[in-house]
Amino acid sequence: MLTPRGQLLINLLKEKESDTPANNSLTYRDEIAQLNVLNHELMLKAEEFIKEHPAKFSSLILISNFFMNSDNPQALERVLGYIQGDVTKTQLATRLRDYSEKMNRSAEGAPMPYFNLTDKDDKNIYSHDFKGKYLLLSFISTAGIESRETVALLKNEYAKVNKDSVSFITIYIDADIYPIDYAVNDSIPWIVVPEKKSWGSDIVETFNVQFIPFNMLIAPDGTIKVRNLPAQGVVDVIGKNSGN
């Protein structure tokens, strides 16, 4: 069943497509890009309503629908700042504030949260093992074209980095559904973690992973440098920050 937000996106997409004679020529990526534009438009309209009605419970519902499950902690914090009156004391308002604080703990510029993982060879992996190094955390699926493309792109990036100063970890977050043999067949030359708890795992919760594939770069000082980093951009970002 579609959420109200999802139905709005579908309805608006149909309206947009009906305005163009080439409505059947959209590629998958074009459709995704168009949905992203529509989603942005809806978020802008939602924020306008929230600013104009800061004391209404409906504003909290809009915040929950449009700003809660996103990768933009600044936007959530901003719209929560508009809320006034008795609605600030409701359970939903409290939950939204708690979620905002959680997002900020894994936002760009924040210290990397502690983690403890078990790799495919049953070896324990700790966050402090990578102190003083760049660390790329890559969350992917054991199935799906985009995840396989991400692995291929990351292999190219990994071949270019200094292994003494850069480490990669790939986390398969749906290893409870699909066999990890899929990951082995990818011949990944860095740390591979089959996360058996899937979307309910601690690391997904801690780092606020909302979708896959999802890459995050941690700086040598332990701060989160870039969230949602394109796989083909790892070397460039490290080079710019290293002065190379």
According to the model, what pLDDT value does residue 2 have? 42
Q: Which two tokens stand for residue 135?
A: 């660390």
Nearest Cα to 176, choosing from 197, 199, 148? 197
Percent of the chain with pLDDT over 70: 82
Interatomic CA distance for residues 120 and 1, integer angstroms: 36
Query: What is the rounded average pLDDT of the residues 123-147?
Result: 92
Extended strands (E) in 105-208? 116-118, 124-126, 134-140, 166-172, 191-194
Question: Which two three-digit tokens encode residue 182?
Answer: 């899929």
CA distances from 198 to 102, 171, 193, 195 (A): 19, 10, 11, 6
Q: What is the pLDDT of residue 29?
A: 65
Residue 229 has pLDDT above 90, yes or no: yes
Structure token digits, residue 158: 């990994």
For 143-178, write each residue's pLDDT tens digit: 778 888 999 999 999 999 999 999 999 999 875 565
Q: Give the closest residue to 234 by CA, choosing from 55, 221, 219.
A: 219
Q: How confident is the model over 1-18, as pLDDT tens digits?
A: 444 555 555 555 555 555
Residue 191 pLDDT class (50, 70, 90 cuts): very high
Classify the phi-psi angles of 206: left when phi > 0, otherwise alpha if psi is within -120 to 50, otherwise beta: alpha
- How high is the pLDDT of residue 12? 53
Helix (H, G, I), strand (E, B) or coil at 31: helix
| pLDDT above 90 as % of the chain | 55
Round to whole Å and give the CA distance between 175 and 203. 14
Which domains are present in the chain? Answer: 4-105 (no CATH), 116-242 (3.40.30.10)
pTM over 0.85: no
What local confidence, expressed as pLDDT, does residue 10 receive?
A: 54
The answer to whether residues 192 and 173 touch, using CB atoms and an 8 Å cutoff, is no
C-alpha 14/C-alpha 17 separation (Å) is 5
